[in-house]
Amino acid sequence: MTEDYLTLIRAAEQRIDHGTRERSAGADDRARAIADEAARRGRGGPKELADELGVSKAAISQAISRARTAGNPHRALPYDTLDRLLAAELRDVPPLPAVHWQALAWIVNGTVIDATWVEQPGLFLSYEVEDLEEGHIPDADRLAATCQGWTRTQALAVIDAILRDDTATLPVKE
């Protein structure tokens, strides 16, 4: 029960962090647009913009100052790159029987997944499958081999989907 509570808090904190980054990026974009337009208008441009936008000249000056220190938006990956990468990798994971996905979900939800898993997540998953009691799931050896055959990113995509309780995205073999 406590783990569910902590998972919810971590997910909420990630959403808050995402929103904070987006607000900051939006403010940088607005600042660059104001600075570019003020420069295009030339002398008196900042005052014209302040009147046009209904803000103070100080607000325009602050925006221009922010634009000077804002990072280049074209020199960073979009904020959702990791999510999109994992979704793309998950689409390339071959379908498995539902019972195998259920077993992997049981394993992942009962295992501490830490930073060491980044190096060889498929191999570590296969070890966990092999550690299951014999007869726990059909074709356990085949499932272990499948896990070992995944690329690092595919295995991480599977783990991520399970940890986010998004198992509907896992391809099921009919």
The number of residues in the chain equals 174
Rg (CA), the chain: 24
Domain locations in the chain as residue ranges: 2-75, 81-169
Alpha carbons 115 and 118: distance in angstroms, whole number: 6
Alpha carbons 123 and 129: distance in angstroms, whole number: 10
**pLDDT digit string (tens) for 33-57?**
999 999 999 999 999 999 999 999 9
21 token code pair: 């980054």
Note the pLDDT of residue 171.
Answer: 94
Q: What is the pTM of this model?
A: 0.61
